[in-house]
């Protein structure tokens, strides 16, 4: 203590800035800050002088100007007289659609493949190993392009569905596989259609309530009541009853060949399918590895202990192993979701109109406002990534609390 006091009393010299631990960290930070400001200032000044040389400026007005181009997949209302901002919004929704579809399918695929890879069935586990290694080790862009090219070259053209002796036919008159995408029936809701959905939603809540009740019963009284069939009953019966009671308010609109293309129904475009499948299969391979690692991380003693208690293998997996493995699996799973969202920007390779295709593609080309467009594009992905990371942190914290 006394020596510190002495040092403080001694005269301040410049060398103390670097040699005295009390000042050193401040010195370094100030140097770093100045360096950063200089670097940024240098870059910004270069930008400004380059723009001035080219006679350009930074302006955001183009977001309000008429876009003038059409987008094929419009989840929200859009026409070519609306603004570039609206077109970007359509693209953003399209990004979210393909990312959501791919996340769901990749999870299913990954969990199935990961569990099957650990199966004691030799053929199945080897097949899954081949799937994982083959897809993990080849760029996803190649898979996207291959699925796109194969579908556009192998599937029939819409006009081959024409005529009495058509070369191709629809499945059950409802689904058509063409080289422009897949046409499936669409739900058409009457005025009361929402009631059916509401009933279905209530049924789902009902299933959870029932399961909770059954579990409490088991814990409190030891009575084990069947849950599987009653759950299915609760899920289906009320909805079906409501559906018929209201006189079938939900109909199906089937696609039909009219003119050049199929009309009606829902058109899953080739670009969407290629992107969706490729992302799902590629990321599924990574998720399978995460799932496998998660399951293997649970000590084998857990399985043996559960078996000693007389549990069946399926129950061991669902009640003992998976709940523990989830803690290991979920964090990398969420970062795979992050990767899917970012990789969905490869849409541009197959012409899927996501935000990279609208804002970063046609809008950029038409307005020439490269800096503005790319800045907004990056911010969009950044916001999505940060939100997903935030969810992951919440989950991690929640999981941490339960640890002893």
Partner 1 sequence: MSDTPNIGFVRHEPIPPSAPPIQQAGMVKWMRENLFSNWINSILTILSIYFVAKIILASTPWMWNGVWTTSSLRECREVLQGTSGACWSVLAERWNQMLFGFKYPVEAYWRPTLAFVLLLVCIAPILFQKLPRNMLIFSAIYPFLAFWLIWGGTVLTPVVVAVSLIAGYLAFVKIERLTGFATGLLSGVVAVALVLYLGSFVTAALPEFIALEPVASRDMGGFMLNLILGTVCVSLSIPLGIILALGRQSNMPIIKGICVVFIEFIRGVPLITLLFVANVVLSYFFPPGTNLDLILRVIIMITLFSAAYIAEVIRGGLAALPRGQYEAADSLGLDYPQAMRLIILPQALKISIPGIVNVAVGLFKDTTLVSVISMFDLVGMIRGPISSSTAWTGIYWELYLFAILLFFVVCYGISQYSQWLERQLRTDHH
Partner 2 sequence: MKKTVFLGALTVAGLAAGLVSAGTLDDVKARGKLNCGVTTGVPGFAEPDANGVWQGFDVAVCRAVAAAVLGDNMAVEFVPTTGKTRFTALASGEIDLLARNTTWTMSRDVDLKFEFVGVNYYDGQGFMVPASLGVSSAAELDGATVCIQTGTTTELNLADFFRANGISYEPVPIETGSEAAQLFLAGSCDVYTTDRSALAAQRANFPNPDDYVVLPDVVSKEPLGPLVRHGDNDWGDIARWTLNALITAEELGVTSDNIAEMSAGTNNPEINRLLGSEGTLGEMLGLDAEWAKRAIMSGGNYGEVFESNIGAATNIGLSRGLNAQWKDGGLIYSPPFR
Binding-site ranges for partner 1 (CB under 8 A)? 18-19, 25, 28-29, 32-33, 36, 43, 46-47, 49-51, 53, 116, 119-124, 127, 133-134, 136-142, 145-146, 149-150, 153, 342-343, 345-346, 348-349, 356, 360, 364, 370-371, 374, 377-378, 381-382, 385-386, 389
Examine residue 75 and tell whether it contacts partner 2 (CB under 8 A): no
Examine residue 166 and tell whether it contacts partner 2 (CB under 8 A): no
Examine residue 357 and tell whether it contacts partner 2 (CB under 8 A): yes
Which one of partner 2, partner 1, none interacts with residue 374, CB within 5 to 8 A by kind?
Answer: partner 1
Residue 181's closest CA among 357, 350, 355?
350
Which one of partner 1, partner 2, none interacts with residue 332, CB within 5 to 8 A by kind?
Answer: none
Examine residue 54 and tell whether it contacts partner 2 (CB under 8 A): yes
Residue 276's closest CA among 388, 130, 143, 155?
143
Q: Contact, 326 vs 273, CB < 8 A? A: no
Examine residue 76 and tell whether it contacts partner 2 (CB under 8 A): no
Q: CA of 30: how far to CAs of 18, 36, 41, 42, 68, in Å?
A: 12, 10, 16, 18, 50
| Cα 243 from Cα 223, distance rounded (Å) | 35
Provide, rounded to whole angstroms, the least separation between the CB of residue 262 and partner 1. 25
User: What would the two tokens of residue 13 be?
Assistant: 């010299």
Provide, rounded to whole angstroms, the least separation between the CB of residue 286 and partner 1. 10
- For 128, residues 6+ apart whose C-beta sits below 8 A from its C-beta are 113, 114, 116, 117, 119, 288
Examine residue 119 and tell whether it contacts partner 2 (CB under 8 A): no
- For 73, residues 6+ apart whose C-beta sits below 8 A from its C-beta are 94, 269, 272, 352, 353
Which one of partner 2, partner 1, none interacts with residue 216, CB within 5 to 8 A by kind?
Answer: none
Which one of partner 2, partner 1, none interacts with residue 396, CB within 5 to 8 A by kind?
Answer: none
Which helix (H) or strand (E) segment holds residue 253: the answer is strand 250-253
Which one of partner 2, partner 1, none interacts with residue 80, CB within 5 to 8 A by kind?
Answer: partner 2
Residue 255's closest CA among 339, 194, 157, 177?
177
Examine residue 42 and tell whether it contacts partner 2 (CB under 8 A): yes
Examine residue 215 and tell whether it contacts partner 2 (CB under 8 A): no
**In the block, which residue shows the tokens 């919004």?**
89
| Cα 256 from Cα 161, distance rounded (Å) | 10
The contact pattern for partner 2, residues 175-214, with x = CB under 8 A and - = no contact, is: ----xx----------------------------------
User: What would the two tokens of residue 333 be?
Assistant: 């799973």
Instruction: Return contacts of 43-52, CB within 8 angstroms, 24+ apart.
Output: 47/371
Which one of partner 1, partner 2, none interacts with residue 18, CB within 5 to 8 A by kind?
Answer: partner 1
Q: Which stretch binds partner 2 (CB under 8 A): 52-60, 105-113, 306-314, 315-323?
A: 52-60
- For 131, residues 6+ apart whose C-beta sits below 8 A from its C-beta are 113, 285, 288
Provide, rounded to whole angstroms, the least separation between the CB of residue 72 and partner 2. 5
Which one of partner 1, partner 2, none interacts with residue 140, CB within 5 to 8 A by kind?
Answer: partner 1
83-84-89 Cα angle (round to 5): 100
Select 183 or 286, whichever has its Cβ closest to partner 2.
183
| Cα 347 from Cα 275, distance rounded (Å) | 6
Question: Contact positions toward partner 2, by CB under 8 A?
Answer: 34, 37-38, 40-42, 44-46, 48-50, 53-56, 68-72, 80, 149, 152-153, 157, 179-180, 258-261, 263, 270-271, 348-349, 351, 353, 357, 361-362, 364-366, 368, 370
């Amino acid at each position: 203590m006394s020596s510190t006091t002495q040092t403080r009393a001694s005269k301040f010299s410049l060398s103390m800035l670097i040699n005295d631990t009390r000042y050193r960290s401040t010195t370094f930070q100030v140097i770093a800050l100045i360096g950063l400001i200089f670097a940024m200032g240098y870059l910004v000044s270069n930008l400004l002088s380059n723009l001035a040389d080219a006679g350009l400026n930074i302006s955001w007005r183009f977001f309000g100007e008429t876009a003038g181009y059409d987008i094929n997949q419009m989840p929200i209302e859009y026409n070519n007289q609306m603004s570039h901002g609206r077109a970007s919004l359509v693209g953003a929704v399209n990004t979210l659609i393909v990312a959501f579809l791919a996340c769901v399918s990749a999870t299913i695929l990954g969990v199935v493949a990961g569990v099957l890879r650990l199966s004691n069935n030799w053929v199945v586990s080897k097949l899954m190993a081949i799937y994982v290694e083959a897809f993990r080790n080849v760029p996803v862009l190649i898979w996207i392009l291959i699925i796109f090219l194969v579908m556009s070259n192998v599937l029939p053209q819409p006009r081959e569905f024409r005529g009495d002796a058509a070369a191709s036919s629809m499945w059950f008159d409802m689904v058509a596989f063409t080289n422009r995408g897949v046409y499936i029936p669409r739900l058409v809701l009457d005025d009361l259609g929402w009631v059916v959905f509401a009933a279905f939603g209530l049924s789902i809540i009902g299933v959870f309530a029932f399961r909770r009740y059954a579990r409490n019963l088991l814990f409190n009284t030891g009575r084990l009541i069947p849950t599987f069939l009653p759950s299915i009953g609760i899920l289906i019966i009320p909805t079906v009853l409501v559906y018929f009671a209201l006189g079938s308010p939900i109909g199906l609109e089937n696609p039909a060949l009219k003119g050049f293309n199929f009309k009606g129904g829902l058109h899953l475009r080739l670009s969407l399918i290629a992107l969706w499948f490729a992302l799902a299969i590629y990321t599924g391979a990574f998720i399978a590895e995460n799932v496998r690692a998660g399951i293997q991380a649970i000590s084998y003693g857990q399985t043996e202990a559960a078996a000693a208690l007389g549990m069946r293998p399926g129950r061991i997996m669902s009640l003992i192993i998976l709940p523990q493995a989830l803690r290991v699996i979920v964090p990398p799973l969420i970062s795979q979701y992050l990767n899917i969202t970012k990789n969905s920007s490869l849409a541009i390779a197959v012409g899927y109109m996501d935000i990279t295709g609208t804002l970063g593609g046609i809008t950029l080309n038409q307005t020439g406002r490269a800096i503005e467009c790319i800045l907004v594009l990056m911010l969009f992905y950044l916001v999505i990534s940060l939100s997903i990371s935030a969810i992951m942190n919440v989950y991690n914290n929640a999981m941490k609390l339960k640890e002893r």
